[in-house]
């Protein structure tokens, strides 16, 4: 029986096949980098939300490379992603630092959020079904459980999720998207500046808001929600002492 030439049995290396192979190889190489980029972002975010990283803390690329064992390009991409999410500020001369929202930034962000939620709560109340209210109440039970057993970052995320869910129930995707961004920026400001020991959001007021919405007392629900956000803003103190720790310690890596 004639022996087949292995070289002839292989598919011809056309330009298209070579390009596909190159893309596949690039994706395989990029996967670990993407994982490390995500790990850096999560570590910085969690450390900010836990108040280990304070406003203005420098985040040098070289230090992140040493701490996480990554290349400069991976550290740079992580910092750019964090800057897009307003967690860090990128300065030409100073490099990356943890965001330092000013008093005016804080005022404008909370003012915009209060105005937006005042419009979204009535829309949500008009569309919410019994199933939606049941879902909201389950979310509040989960929130209450986290308040007593979880750390600040997990609790803050759950408390923020309540407001974002109300925006989703409004049925207006554009307004919901704006609210999600504002809630994220408010959460960052609260994490950076609220004195330790305070709840990021008062659970009891969330319960009141849902009760009032379900009973059709929408104007009262809007008022409670507005006062709720105003109280949150009032608790913010822009003065924070700088901890005497290394960057690795603040990131929980040492």
Q: Per-residue pLDDT for 241 more than 90?
A: no
Convert the pLDDT of each residue in 128-153 to its tens digit.
999 999 999 999 998 888 776 655 56
> Quick check: 59 and 97 in contact, CB under 8 A?
yes
The pLDDT of residue 77 is 95
pLDDT band at 158 (very low <50, low <70, confident <90, very high): confident
The pLDDT of residue 49 is 81
Backbone φ and ψ for 88, nearest 5 degrees, come out as: -125, 160
pLDDT band at 23 (very low <50, low <70, confident <90, very high): very low
> Quick check: 43 and 69 in contact, CB under 8 A?
no
CA pair distance 145, 150, nearest whole angstrom: 8
Mean pLDDT of the chain: 84
This prediction has a pTM of 0.73
Measured over the CA atoms of residue 34, residue 254, residue 185 and residue 202, the dihedral's sign is positive
- Of the ranges 35-44, 128-137, 223-232, 245-254, which one carries the lowest mean pLDDT score? 245-254
CA pair distance 233, 108, nearest whole angstrom: 11
Q: Give the alpha-carbon dihedral of 88, 42, 189, 235, to 10 degrees.
A: -150
Convert the pLDDT of each residue in 45-67 to its tens digit.
888 887 788 888 999 999 999 99
- Of the ranges 22-26, 180-184, 217-221, which one carries the lowest mean pLDDT score? 22-26
Domains of the chain (ranges; CATH) run: 27-100 (1.10.10.10), 103-235 (1.20.120.530)
Name, of 20-34, 160-174, 199-213, the range with top average pLDDT. 160-174
- Of the ranges 97-101, 198-202, 217-221, which one carries the lowest mean pLDDT score? 198-202
Pick 193 or 119 by higher pLDDT: 119
Vertex 146: Cα angle to 233 and 222 (nearest 5): 40
């Amino acid at each position: 029986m004639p022996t087949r030439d292995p070289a002839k049995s292989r598919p011809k290396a056309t330009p298209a096949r070579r390009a596909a192979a190159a893309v596949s190889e690039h994706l395989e190489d990029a996967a670990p980098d993407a994982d490390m980029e995500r790990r850096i972002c999560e570590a910085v975010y969690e450390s900010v939300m836990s108040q280990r990283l304070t406003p203005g803390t420098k985040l040098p690329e070289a230090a992140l490379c040493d701490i996480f064992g990554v290349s400069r390009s991976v550290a740079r991409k992580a910092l750019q992603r964090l800057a897009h999410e307003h967690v860090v500020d990128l300065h030409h001369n100073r490099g990356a630092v943890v965001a330092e929202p000013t008093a005016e930034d804080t005022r404008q962000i909370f003012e915009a959020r209060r105005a937006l939620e005042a419009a979204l709560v009535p829309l949500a109340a008009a569309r919410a079904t019994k199933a939606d209210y049941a879902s909201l109440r389950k979310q509040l039970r989960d929130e209450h459980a986290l308040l007593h057993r979880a750390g600040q970052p997990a609790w803050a995320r759950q408390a923020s999720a309540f407001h974002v869910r109300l925006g989703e129930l409004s049925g207006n995707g554009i307004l919901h998207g704006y609210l999600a961004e504002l809630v994220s920026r408010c959460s960052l400001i609260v994490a950076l500046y609220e004195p330790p020991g305070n709840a990021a959001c008062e659970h009891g007021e969330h319960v009141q808001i849902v009760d009032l919405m379900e009973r059709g007392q929408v104007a009262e629900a809007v008022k409670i929600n507005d006062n709720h956000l105003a109280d949150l803003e009032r608790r913010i103190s822009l003065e924070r002492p700088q901890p005497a720790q290394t960057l690795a310690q603040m990131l929980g890596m040492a």
